[in-house]
Amino acid sequence: MTRLVKIGLLILSTQQLQGQEALRETPKPESPHLTPVTWNRLIQASDEPHNWLMYSGTFNSQRFSRLDQIHTRNVSRLRLKWAYQLSALDRAETTPLVVDGVMFVTEAPSNVIALDAATGREYWRYEHELPEDLRICCGRNNRGVAILGETLFMSTLDAHLVAIDARSGNLVWNREVADHRSGYSKTAAPLVVKDKVVTGIAGGEFGIRGFLDSYESRTGNRAWRTYTIPGPDHPDNQSWSGDSWRNGGSPTWITGSYDPDLNLVYWGTGNPGPDYNGDVRLGDNLYADSVLALDGNTGEMDWYFQFTPHDVHDWDAIQIPILADLNIDGNSRRVMMWANRNGFYYTLDRETGEFLVGRPFARQTWAKGLDESGRPIRVPDMFPSENGTIVSPPAAGATNWMSPAFSPRTELFYVMAFDGEAKFFIRDEEYIEGDRYIGGGQTQFLPIEEYTSAVRAIDPRTGETRWEHRVQPQTWAGLLATAGDLIFGGSVDGYFYALDAVSGDELWHISVGSQVRASPMTYAVDGNQYVTIAVGNVIYTFGLEAN
């Protein structure tokens, strides 16, 4: 496969820039017009594909849109329709929401902006004031909001959850979820479940104890909390030696999924802490590097599946679980699809947690394979060492937090994959509250350009890769699938592109001038389909050129 061809830079014309400036100078309307987003609308989000009502589009997190105005035969006619310059210079990792022609975008570090989805015109902006003593691991990120009724919900870097009036941008309520001075933070879009807001926590590199919360949408009062590390009154606490569970990490820093029929919330958990030194936390370290299935009303755990027991390579299982109903071996199964950071692809029964399919989808050297229950069969002597141990995948993983996609038309699972390796080191490190607590580290063994980065299409019934499209070098953009049989994605060297969902052939690309670290989405206004991607600190929106 060939890498994306560089054919020039996307340049906004003088007329486009003047047009945007004129829009900014025009008096803003008092408030955007939208119909309240009811729980019933969220359940049936796929029936209104002109909107994008939650982070992954729908509760099953397929990132599939039924819009097909843009398709394989006309995607080459995509042109820039508008661009919105974010004020913050931090990289944008947001996925916008669109509700009845109104777009809601988060801006780093913890701001929200309402835009006219057809023109990019700004309605209002909300800025959350942050303390100066933040302790964050991996960037001043914010990936999106949730909506219920006429209220938006956003996580903030100082570990708060805020509710914002979607019409005015005014603050409705503000709740502290955890103490940011201890290393807790929040970067992911929340998920609305009935009349509550489910939200995770970040901070796995600071020795936190992970949890998942649910808050009453009207009041901000906490409804339930489920710790992702069991306490000493639970039998699974024995999977942590001594008191290591107290600072064991297992954060929940990316948005999960939900099955309304089963009333189960599915959420991935991150690495145990310290990341690389497993000697101080002997055992499987439940429920780190797992997917949890929780009762949507109470937060009680229905089942769990641990991908990497006793992880010592920082292979967070925070990838977004994709849900679908598939015929497997002649039987209809409610499945969950998961390409994991550890290099293995999994298909699970989402009702029971039963392991159905598992095989490598990217380069991995740490396991001989998976046993009949899905537990890895480890290769000896692959743990971090004082002199360094070379292992695939690296800590960044065979994939990471960037969103995969699934098309019910092709019944293929699409993921941005990476074949790489790193040298892992171990060191002794004392836990100090609020300080990084990782117990080692890694170094790239070869230049990153020498490894393979690619979009891979996987058959969830077998785990086999149907095709790949290389996108070099290692790329952190998510994917979008559409009923036009297209897969949209981005690259680290500044390209936005569309692939044929069946074959993987590249059909269109354009230079957007900066690395893409977000996931694209699509929507329609007045019968016109648009595709939007956050790039650097700009929101770009594309549509078909006029005939």
**Which amino acid type is present at position 358?**
G
* Whole-angstrom distance, CA of residue 253 vs CA of residue 401: 9
CB under 8 Å to 11, separation ≥6 — which residues? none
**Which amino acid type is present at position 256?**
G
Nearest to 412 by CA among 487, 508, 313: 487
- Give yes or no for a contact between 430 and 436, defined as CB atoms under 8 angstroms apart: no
* Whole-angstrom distance, CA of residue 271 vs CA of residue 441: 13
Token couple for 409:
């038309």
Strand partners, 502: none
**Which amino acid type is present at position 148?**
L
DSSP 8-state class, residue 29:
P
In the residue annotation, 314 being an active-site residue is answered as: yes
Token couple for 429:
């490190």
Chain centre to alpha carbon of residue 200: 12
* Whole-angstrom distance, CA of residue 128 vs CA of residue 406: 34
Query: Which residue bears the tokens 């479940």?
Result: 193
Task: Count Cβ atoms below 10 Å from residue 84 Cβ, excluding itself.
Answer: 25
Strand partners, 297: none
Token couple for 535:
């790039």
Token couple for 128:
């959350």
* Whole-angstrom distance, CA of residue 212 vs CA of residue 4: 40
* Whole-angstrom distance, CA of residue 397 vs CA of residue 420: 8
Nearest to 95 by CA among 165, 172, 154, 158: 154
* Whole-angstrom distance, CA of residue 474 vs CA of residue 87: 27
Query: What region, left, alpha or beta, does residue 324 occupy, with left being phi > 0 and alpha being psi -120 to 50 degrees?
Result: beta
Supply angle C-alpha 80, 82, 84, rounded to 5.
130
Task: Count Cβ atoms below 10 Å from residue 145 Cβ, excluding itself.
Answer: 26
* Whole-angstrom distance, CA of residue 271 vs CA of residue 281: 12
- Give yes or no for a contact between 418 and 362, defined as CB atoms under 8 angstroms apart: yes
* Whole-angstrom distance, CA of residue 397 vs CA of residue 404: 14
* Whole-angstrom distance, CA of residue 273 vs CA of residue 258: 27
Catalytic residue among 259, 311, 314, 316: 314
- The continuous run of DSSP H or E covering 36 comes out as none
* Residues that are catalytic: 314
